Amino acid sequence: MADDVQTPKLREALRGIPAYKAGKNPDASAFKLSSNENPYPPLPGVLEAVQKSAENFNRYPDMGCSALSSEIAERFGVPVEHVATGTGSVGVAQQLLQATSGPGDEVIYAWRSFEAYPIITQISGATSVRVPLTPEEHHDLDAMAAAVTDRTRLIFVCNPNNPTGVAISEDALVRFLDRVPSDVLVVIDEAYREFVRDDSIPDGVDLYRDRPNVAVLRTFSKAYGLAGLRVGFAIAHEPVAAALRQTAVPFGVNSLAQVAAIESLRAEKLLLERCEALVQERTRVTEALREQGWTVPESQANFIWLRLGERTAEFAAKAEAAGIVVRPFAGEGARITVGEVEANDILLRVTAEFQE
């Protein structure tokens, strides 16, 4: 190669972006409790619909996801123009950043929270403003409101929060929304909404209705068990919803994902029964951990958070040796998905031994 050949010029903003750490895939004999997936296999009716649809995948999908958007609009009682779909809710979150934020702008979120927020913020060129969780693992909403400047374009509120599972009450969230200027977009990320059982936790869709600066993110990856198909959506007023259509990758949501999501909404009752079984397991595991002497924040999601500090890596290694793969955040803690009963029992054996 000649000496003067240079590599293509890439955007400065990409320098030093943290890599997204996907939950580790265990070997065949271990349980994967590292990605907050649904442990149940696809529902037979959903699988059949997808298999049938696969016969036509030589064709492009419906670019506007019109049938799926109509189902979502009906299910949530919102205008269909307020529904915008994408490749997982993380895809929609990235579109929201593309639509609102660039170099010189600021994006606020709690920390620790969903690890994609810093990555997609940096890709947009905007600056992350991280507001630490309180010692009780709650969003510090006063500090987040105080962090708003005239450069703030978007605020992520993860409710319940990943990885702690802690959720924000309606009173607190409404007070916060009332303090945020109306030209700043607040994104309420409700990836785990279907696992919430505490009545004081608001449904973001109720909050969005009379607030044009609020967008709600939902996903088919968790409660609906479609993580591998990549489909999520936002509910937002115009012009935010229209901006999401502008920033969508053309034909991004594939035809199998569209069919599976529609069938899943139609089979929602069965899927929500599965969620209820997982919630019961969450309660069982939380209570057992507390009996063992652990401090466990009240999770409203399908995972549990153990703040293990410097012992996190050691705990993750012990868990893996026992047959469960958890998600360690080095020096902070481990997030453990509520999985199959057998997997949860292994967790409780590991935690009991770790306490001793």
Ligand X SMILES: Cc1ncc(COP(=O)(O)O)c(C=O)c1O
- Binding region for ligand X (CB under 6 A): 36, 88-90, 114, 158, 162, 189, 191, 219, 221, 227, 232
Least separation in angstroms between residue 310's CB and ligand X is 25
* Nearer of residues 126 and 157 to ligand X, judged by Cβ: 157
The least distance separating ligand X from the CB of residue 184, rounded to whole angstroms, comes to 20
Q: How far is the CB of 216 from ligand X (least distance, A)?
A: 11
Nearer to ligand X, 119 or 348 (CB): 119
What are 294's two structure tokens? 């652990």
Residue 130, token pair as written in the block: 């991280």
Of all residues in the shown chain, the one whose CB is closest to ligand X is 88
Minimum distance, C-beta of residue 65 to ligand X, in the bound complex (Å): 14
Q: What residues contact residue 166 under an 8 Å CB cut-off, 6+ apart?
A: 133, 136, 137, 138, 139, 160, 297, 298, 299, 300, 305
By beta-carbon proximity to ligand X, the closer residue of 150 and 332 is 332
For residues 196 and 168, give the distance between their C-alpha atoms in angstroms, rounded to a whole number. 11
Secondary structure of 216-279 in the HEC alphabet? EEEECCCCCCCHHHCCEEEEECCCHHHHHHHHCCCCCCCHHHHHHHHHHHHCHHHHHHHHHHHH
* 166, 172, 178, 179 alpha-carbon torsion, rounded to 10°: -80
**By C-beta, is 181 or 334 nearer to ligand X?**
334
Whether the upstream peptide bond of residue 179 has omega within 30° of 0, thus cis, is no
Measure Cα distances from 22 to 60, 115, 118, 326 in Å: 29, 10, 15, 11
Q: How far is the CB of 163 from ligand X (least distance, A)?
A: 8
Cis bond before residue 239 (omega within 30° of 0): yes
If the CB atoms of residues 192 and 315 are measured against ligand X, the closer one turns out to be 192
Residue type, 181: P
H or E segment at 48?
helix 44-54
CB of 91 to ligand X, least distance (A): 6
Q: CA 337, 341, 346, 347 torsion: positive or negative?
A: positive
Nearer to ligand X, 116 or 243 (CB): 116
Closest separation in Å from C-beta 89 to ligand X: 3
Smallest distance, ligand X to C-beta of residue 157, A: 10
Give the total residue count for the chain. 356
Helix (H, G, I), strand (E, B) or coil at 131: strand
Least distance from ligand X to the Cβ atom of residue 233, Å: 9
| Distances from the Cα of 196 to the Cα of 19, 56, 330, 339, angstroms | 29, 37, 27, 17
Which is closer to ligand X, CB of 7 or CB of 122?
A: 122
List 111's β-bridge partners, or say none: 132
∠ Cα 146 155 18 (to 5°): 110
Cβ proximity to ligand X: between 61 and 232 the closer is 232
Nearer to ligand X, 36 or 312 (CB): 36
